[in-house]
Amino acid sequence: MKFLDQAKIFIKSGDGGAGACSFRREKYIEFGGPDGGDGGRGGDVVVECVANLNTLIDFRYQQHFKAEGGRHGQGRNKTGGKGHDIVLRVPVGTQILTDDKEEVLADLTTAGQRIVLLKGGDGGFGNAHYKTSTNQAPRRADSGWPGQELWVWLRLKLIADCGLVGLPNAGKSTFLAAVTRARPKIADYPFTTLHPNLGVASVGDEEFIIADIPGLIEGAHEGAGLGDRFLGHVERCRVLLHLIDGTAEDVVHSYRVVRDELRQYGGGLDAKPELVALNKCDALTPEDIEAKMAALATATDAAVLPLSGAAGIGLKTVLFALLERIKESRDLQGAGPLAAAATGGTGKSGSWQPPLDQDDDGDAWPEDFDDEDGDEADDGSPHYVNGVDDAEDDEDEDEDEDGDGDGDGDDKE
């Protein structure tokens, strides 16, 4: 199943039914009179949060949702029936934003939560409603009220306790695979991870959820690399684990690049509790480990721990440190899911260019990742998923899944 975390849809509630203009005309009945019934109310647009979904892929193939209109009134004082509601089922953690992404209409964080997003139009009155002692034969019957319509964005922000951040190839996916049963794609080239992954870590009798997002590079808030769009998936996290590649020449620069991107993104990410881990320590000498940890300690107030996801060094120490901070957050903010920032990072756009003193031959990062939301993001089309074309990113899945011959399964150049 493809991972889709953003979709634009059109919703419309049902129109109200029209009232009837009718008179009682039965033979041998002395007193007739108006008996036109009222129209029925239109259906509502309801959004329901369900637990068995983890992507918005259903909204890729259908973008228009309209509730049923109300039935017309009839003679003999028959009121029209109400139109059927339309129910949109979304994953836990979905936000509903306005068309301009400036306002959050709803933030669904609990399974079973239901909201009425648009109410159906009221039915019109029949002529029986206007019968009075001075107007005993009214011929007025009203049309139903129109329903409401709206373009909205659905934005999924995964619910996790811990979020992994860092530069590409910092070892985030390796760490996730080492401490959970998740099996993300792992390779020795940048941007191996193209969409967020979740895993459940067990620490003694406790468990917590870890979210792994694609790596950040300098200028991600302007669209560089895969951009910072996926940072929305760690907005609900209680603690961040910042992984630093220990084999890098300047670990302090690596740390500050990611911290600057968190600050530029907003959403309170730079203020979240943080734990810094010097990864890939199995490839370093004890002297190098001590020197680089000391350098990181001068650049941050957070705890710095040695780690190697591939060799299994320091995993338990890091997990227990994360669990301690998660428990502290639960005591302060409650055990329920944290609300995400209103519109953090959703409205950013821009074409990124490398600095003048940087090699701009395009070999460092793929050119396909320059645009944050894909070439067609402005028109609301969800055909570009996670900042890249929705072609299969797995090298072993080259077939066209939907069979429409559009080459969806071809690998990216």
Segment 68-78 shows an average pLDDT of: 95
**Rounded to an integer, what distance in angstroms lies between the CA atom of residue 87 and that of residue 13?**
11
DSSP calls for 66-118 = EPPPPPPPBTTTBPPPPPPPEEEEEETTEEEEETTS--EEEEE-STT-EEEEE
Residue with the bigger pLDDT between 232 and 131: it is 131
Q: How confident is the model at residue 270 (pLDDT cuts 50, 70, 90)?
A: confident
With a cut of 80, say whether residue 150 has pLDDT above it. Answer: yes
Tell me how crowded residue 48 is: count the other CB atoms within 10 A of its CB. Answer: 14
Phi, psi of 259 (to 5 degrees): -60, -35
With a cut of 60, say whether residue 71 has pLDDT above it. Answer: yes
**Rounded to an integer, what distance in angstroms lies between the CA atom of residue 91 and that of residue 110?**
9
Phi, psi of 351 (to 5 degrees): -95, 125
Domain residue ranges in the chain: 6-156, 162-333
Q: How confident is the model at residue 341 (pLDDT cuts 50, 70, 90)?
A: low
pLDDT of residue 268: 83
Phi, psi of 242 (to 5 degrees): -95, 110
With a cut of 80, say whether residue 413 has pLDDT above it. Answer: no
The CA distances from residue 410 to 208, 391, 395, 398, 401, in Å, are: 36, 6, 9, 5, 10
pLDDT of residue 363: 43
What would the pLDDT profile of 356-397 be if each residue is shown by its tens digit?
A: 444 444 444 434 434 444 444 444 433 333 333 443 444 444
Chain-wide mean pLDDT for the chain?
82
pLDDT of residue 369: 36
Place of tokens 């992507």: 55
Residue with the bigger pLDDT between 311 and 267: it is 311
Q: How confident is the model at residue 398 (pLDDT cuts 50, 70, 90)?
A: very low
The architecture of the domain spanning 162-333 is 3-Layer(aba) Sandwich (3.40)
**Rounded to an integer, what distance in angstroms lies between the CA atom of residue 131 and that of residue 134?**
8
Q: How confident is the model at residue 10 (pLDDT cuts 50, 70, 90)?
A: very high
With a cut of 80, say whether residue 263 has pLDDT above it. Answer: yes
Sign of CA dihedral 377, 380, 383, 386: positive
Q: How confident is the model at residue 190 (pLDDT cuts 50, 70, 90)?
A: confident
- Give me the numbers of helices (H) and strands (E) for the chain, helices first please: 4, 18
Q: How confident is the model at residue 152 (pLDDT cuts 50, 70, 90)?
A: very high
Residues in CB range of 50: below 8 A, 6 or more apart:
89, 90, 91, 92, 111, 112
With a cut of 70, say whether residue 319 has pLDDT above it. Answer: yes
With a cut of 90, say whether residue 208 has pLDDT above it. Answer: yes
Q: What is the DSSP letter of 379?
A: G
With a cut of 70, say whether residue 349 has pLDDT above it. Answer: no
Q: What is the DSSP letter of 386?
A: T
CB 302 within 8 A of CB 321: no
Which of 146-160, 306-320, 323-337 shows the lowest mean pLDDT across its residues? 323-337
The architecture of the domain spanning 6-156 is Distorted Sandwich (2.70)
DSSP calls for 136-174 = SS----PPPPPPPEEEEEEEE----SEEEE-STTSSHHH
